[in-house]
Amino acid sequence: MTMHSSSETTALLDGIRAFIEPASLRTDADSALLYGRDWTRLYQPNPLAVVLPGTIEQVRQLVCYANDHRLALVPSGGRTGLSGAAVASHGELVVSLERMNRILDFDAVDRSVTCQAGTVTEALQNFAREQGLSYPVDFASRGSSHIGGNIATNAGGIKVVRYGLTRDWVTGLKVVTGRGDLLDLNRGLIKNASGYDLRHLFIGSEGTLGIIVEATLKLTRPLHEPNVMVLGVPDLNGLMAIYGVLRGALELSAFEFFSELALRHVLKKGLHRPFETATPYYVLTEFENPAGRFTDQALQLFEHCTEQGWLVDGVISQSEQQAKELWRLREDISESIAEHQPYKNDISVRISRVPALLEEIDHLLAREYPNFEVLWYGHIGDGNLHINILKPAEMATATFAENCGAVSEHLFATLQRHGGSISAEHGVGLTKKPYLHYTRDATEVGYLRALKQVFDPNGIMNPGKIFD
Amino acid sequence: MTMHSSSETTALLDGIRAFIEPASLRTDADSALLYGRDWTRLYQPNPLAVVLPGTIEQVRQLVCYANDHRLALVPSGGRTGLSGAAVASHGELVVSLERMNRILDFDAVDRSVTCQAGTVTEALQNFAREQGLSYPVDFASRGSSHIGGNIATNAGGIKVVRYGLTRDWVTGLKVVTGRGDLLDLNRGLIKNASGYDLRHLFIGSEGTLGIIVEATLKLTRPLHEPNVMVLGVPDLNGLMAIYGVLRGALELSAFEFFSELALRHVLKKGLHRPFETATPYYVLTEFENPAGRFTDQALQLFEHCTEQGWLVDGVISQSEQQAKELWRLREDISESIAEHQPYKNDISVRISRVPALLEEIDHLLAREYPNFEVLWYGHIGDGNLHINILKPAEMATATFAENCGAVSEHLFATLQRHGGSISAEHGVGLTKKPYLHYTRDATEVGYLRALKQVFDPNGIMNPGKIFD
């Protein structure tokens, strides 16, 4: 893909206007800035233009046009990603699905909903609730992330320990492949053993194989009333011991952790400590507690963990309002540190490896980078850790990025020894591309490239993302 | 792939003996018969030989050798399949994984087990139980099916409504691709967003992309004590109405149905009617009932369904023994009709489409094929219906097969209008290959072929299965 001269650009855009209404093709600077990047702030947005198709047919026409003119496309959802997969910084055409945001079909017997890819996560969650059901995949960016984007990254979030990843809820997918073919995959069936399941290939493909235009999703019964506990934990081994005891007895819907250092940032933004005692780590766990059936049991477990020395203080929510407030201690961390331009890592290992990995990385960072403030938090119940390195105020952005790159090499080499993944739920995009080899060996990456070739032989779909 | 002359055969087999101990290469007639077919009885087994590798390295060597000599391989598990995917009738080399049947690793924190592909399903279930956990994917062939085969067909079974398909439990997969590459996929991680998930491509690939040699599987808490109810249902709409009511209130782990005609075959084998009243259809449903907590509720729901006229009689298990006996009414059907050489269909639609589809097919079969005895049963709670057409005693097998082929065209055209699948859980193999186009359109099948080309460019892996 090369940059285009101004007259070429004019001709290219005129060609698009032949099948896209002019108002849905945007070339202004504000649109370029808005649609040209995701929540990462490392890349300069520089799209050719932004197109907002309104129909599947328009998406198909766009892909065919892009093939004819070797024009790179960047599919664009809510752009809440943290790995740069939705960044357009090399003159690509951004294809935003935001106008395609309708819920198309619902069936109470199937407990199933079909929606366009641009549907906002929270809109779908609300729709499900109105039908007396729930869509339990949930995360902090629910208010702006799109279902299509969730699928393209196999989004996880805060309830994975109980309700799984986005992948587990997708029963049908309409995609336009990089060749311009419309595929109607699996059509909402629970069981379908009729050849390779292409649906799962598109889930997590970060826009590199085609454009997801429609999805059918399973729904489930309404979630039982949750209780939230926040627990003060003196050391890493305590974290996992508590997890083992609680998940054996309660229906945990979340098991999160964060460090005291991370907590301090949300306290600065006006939240209050959950309890007096400060401890190096905190667990936030949620369990379903219909009619308070498990309250006594939870309190007994709390006593038991205290006696074992695994925790030293704690609080349990007494109301829905209080549960929400406790959740903010965890969910607001990311926003509270945004001003420090954190370098984000989103890694995973098997749960059993978490304590050893945490300890090794802690030593590594303290030894090699004593001047960096490092914050830990994450979905520890599924082996997913977010490591955020804050930029020292006096350090230049470029120097910081360079240093963090060096940190990453150390970090990922350690992670590799523990069989982990360089990306748990954020995807590879641009930020993790240099490190993909730590998780997928050269043979595997060879197959990934060959698969891309099958669906996108001209390399027009989100080129340069995941691998070169 | 072509047949080999006798001297060619000798040379080919000698070449294999260079890296496989002679006792693990079998060419006798008994082995050919045993390993050359699955539970279908439509194809004459005719393998070149049977190899039983003992290590991953031997599997890899076999695949490389097969590529060098353009030798077709048929991966072989427990051969309990019903679509001919494990049949070797054209001089292929059968690669049986049965010697590779060890459980390699278990971790209580991860609730995860790693085993070789030849591990028998029941052995894994028992192992999980001994660890205080469970592997809840379950079906009648549990005593002989292999984990590798389950994965290659994405086996479903009787607890899908609550515990999902095999796909949902596979967290890691080692495969030798048709190119002879060993891939170590996902390594037991819960979250791993690092590029296309090849694991899911191999799940359900019926041995056409490579050979599954090892799997890591999630386990879950022990299942709560189940209760089983069998209900007598006068019509099809009643089936779904009962389902709607029960699954809203109880934790159903199974929702099966069978027809009176099907029941009569197990009664002939010595089982007893569940209750006096004969009804056209029966529901068998299982729900988890810890400490009898939901017994009263179940009885109230039973009353409610009776008042609505949806059911006319029923029974609820009073002991584990009685629950097992009730299950036999459903699980023994397949075996009880084996002597009638049934033509099996294993179709699925969305749950909401079940009543309309059943009614249409019932009319179709009664009109077009009034002389065939047709038995219905299946996992109706997930939209999966087994339709068995019995061979009239006086009809020649070939004539019957021809007639059933014609039935299938009608059946699948109807199914297609309802958006269903020609194979819910048995796979495509050989028996459903002519009908694949009713579920996957030509464009999709084109992509399936291209994917096969990526993993198996010489077409040595189970050629002729799924598609030509």
CB contact under 8 A, A454 and B455: no
Cα A338 to chain centroid distance, Å, stands at 17
Give A265→chain B minimum CA distance, Å: 27
Give B384→chain A minimum CA distance, Å: 7
Using the Cβ of A379 and the Cβ atoms of chain B, whether some distance falls under 8 Å is answered with yes
Using the Cβ of B448 and the Cβ atoms of chain A, whether some distance falls under 8 Å is answered with yes
How many CB atoms sit inside 10 A of residue A337's CB? 22
CB contact under 8 A, A194 and B439: yes
Q: Number of helices and strands (H, E) in chain B?
A: 15, 16
pLDDT of residue A19 exceeding 80: yes
CB contact under 8 A, B201 and A197: yes
CB burial class (10 A; 0-12, 13-18, 19+) of residue A371? exposed
For A189-205, the pLDDT digits (tens) are 999 999 999 999 999 99
Domain boundaries B226-334, CATH class: alpha beta
Three-state secondary-structure class, residue B324: helix
Both structure tokens of B339: 């002597």
* CATH-assigned architecture of domain B6-98: 2-Layer Sandwich (3.30)
pLDDT of residue B381 exceeding 70: yes
Tell me which chain B residues have a C-beta less than 8 angstroms from the C-beta of A203.
Answer: 197, 200
- CB-CB contact of B236 with B281 (8 Å): yes
Mean pLDDT throughout B150-179? 96
Closest residue of B to A347, CA-based? B192
Give B183→chain A minimum CA distance, Å: 7
Can you give the pLDDT at residue A42?
Answer: 83
Residue A334 and residue A193: Cα distance in Å, rounded? 41
- CB-CB contact of A160 with A253 (8 Å): no
Give A238→chain B minimum CA distance, Å: 13
pLDDT of residue A460 exceeding 90: yes
Tell me which chain B residues have a C-beta less than 8 angstroms from the C-beta of A436.
Answer: 194-195
CB proximity list for B285: less than 8 A, separation 6 or greater? B228, B229, B231, B246, B252, B254, B255, B256, B381
Can you give the pLDDT at residue A284?
Answer: 97
Using the Cβ of B200 and the Cβ atoms of chain A, whether some distance falls under 8 Å is answered with yes
% of chain B surpassing 90 pLDDT: 85
pLDDT of residue A2 exceeding 90: no
Can you give the pLDDT at residue B236?
Answer: 85
% of chain A surpassing 90 pLDDT: 85
Cα dihedral sign, B29-B34-B38-B42:
positive
Give A106→chain B minimum CA distance, Å: 11
pLDDT of residue A380 exceeding 60: yes
CB contact under 8 A, B428 and A195: yes
Mean pLDDT throughout A392-419? 91
CB contact under 8 A, A189 and B350: yes
For A348-363, the pLDDT digits (tens) are 999 999 989 988 998 9
CB burial class (10 A; 0-12, 13-18, 19+) of residue A468? exposed
Closest residue of B to A187, CA-based? B419
Question: Which has more pLDDT, A293 or B196?
Answer: B196
Interface with chain A: mutation pick from B151, B167, B175, B192, highest number of A CBs within 10 Å:
B192
Q: In what order do the strands lie in the sheet with A313-316?
A: A313-316, A226-233, A281-288, A252-259, A373-379, A384-390, A343-348
CB contact under 8 A, A454 and B450: yes
pLDDT of residue B51 exceeding 60: yes
CB pairs under 8 A between A and B: 212
Q: Which numeric CATH code is attached to B337-426?
A: 3.30.70.2740
For A247-283, the pLDDT digits (tens) are 989 989 999 999 999 999 999 999 999 999 999 999 9
pLDDT of residue B47 exceeding 60: yes
Q: Where are the beta strands (DSSP E) in B159-242?
A: 170-177, 182-185, 210-218, 226-233
For B306-358, the pLDDT digits (tens) are 999 999 999 999 999 999 999 999 999 988 998 898 988 999 999 999 989 98
- CB-CB contact of B447 with B460 (8 Å): no
Closest residue of B to A203, CA-based? B196
Using the Cβ of B160 and the Cβ atoms of chain A, whether some distance falls under 8 Å is answered with yes
Query: From the list A110, A194, A351, which residue is nearest B423 (CB)?
Result: A194
pLDDT of residue A341 exceeding 90: no
CB contact under 8 A, A451 and B454: yes
Tell me which chain A residues have a C-beta less than 8 angstroms from the C-beta of B110.
Answer: 350-352
DSSP B309: T
Mean pLDDT of chain A: 95
How many CB atoms sit inside 10 A of residue A264's CB? 14
pLDDT of residue A24 exceeding 70: yes
Mean pLDDT throughout B248-271? 94
Domain boundaries A103-218, CATH class: alpha beta
* CA angle, B406 then B407 then B411, to 5°: 125
Q: How far apart are the first and last CA of chain B?
A: 12
Q: Do domains A226-334 and A337-426 have the same CATH topology?
A: yes
Give B273→chain A minimum CA distance, Å: 30
Interface with chain A: mutation pick from B114, B168, B170, B194, highest number of A CBs within 10 Å:
B194
For A68-95, the pLDDT digits (tens) are 999 999 999 999 999 999 999 999 999 9
Query: From the list B160, B351, B440, which residue is nearest A109 (CB)?
Result: B351
CB contact under 8 A, B194 and A439: yes
Give B129→chain A minimum CA distance, Å: 15
Mean pLDDT of chain B: 95
Using the Cβ of A365 and the Cβ atoms of chain B, whether some distance falls under 8 Å is answered with no
Closest residue of A to B175, CA-based? A444
Nearest Cα neighbor of B212 from B374, B368, B85, B24 is B85
Interface with chain B: mutation pick from A83, A114, A170, A191, highest number of B CBs within 10 Å:
A191
CB burial class (10 A; 0-12, 13-18, 19+) of residue A322? middle
CB burial class (10 A; 0-12, 13-18, 19+) of residue B392? middle
Percent helix, strand and coil across chain B, each to the nearest 5: 40, 20, 40
**Residue A311: pLDDT band by 50, 70, 90 thresholds?**
very high
Mean pLDDT throughout B259-286? 96
Both structure tokens of A145: 């992330």
CB contact under 8 A, A451 and B196: yes
Cα dihedral sign, A455-A456-A461-A467:
positive
For B93-149, the pLDDT digits (tens) are 999 999 999 999 999 999 999 999 999 999 999 999 999 999 999 998 999 999 999
Using the Cβ of B422 and the Cβ atoms of chain A, whether some distance falls under 8 Å is answered with yes
Please name the residues between 175 and 194 in chain A that touch chain B, using a CB distance below 8 Å. 177, 181-185, 187-194
* CA angle, A133 then A137 then A328, to 5°: 105
Burial string for B412-421 (b: 16+ CB within 10 Å, else e) reads bebbeebbbb
Query: From the list A156, A177, A185, which residue is nearest B191 (CB)?
Result: A156
Tell me which chain A residues have a C-beta less than 8 angstroms from the C-beta of B467.
Answer: 195
pLDDT of residue B2 exceeding 70: no
% of chain A surpassing 70 pLDDT: 99
For B383-410, the pLDDT digits (tens) are 999 999 999 999 998 899 888 888 899 9
Using the Cβ of A244 and the Cβ atoms of chain B, whether some distance falls under 8 Å is answered with yes
Tell me which chain B residues have a C-beta less than 8 angstroms from the C-beta of A449.
Answer: none
Give A288→chain B minimum CA distance, Å: 15
Mean pLDDT throughout B150-165? 94
Cα B185 to chain centroid distance, Å, stands at 23
Nearest Cα neighbor of A330 from A367, A299, A375 is A375
> Domain residue spans in chain B?
6-98, 103-218, 226-334, 337-426
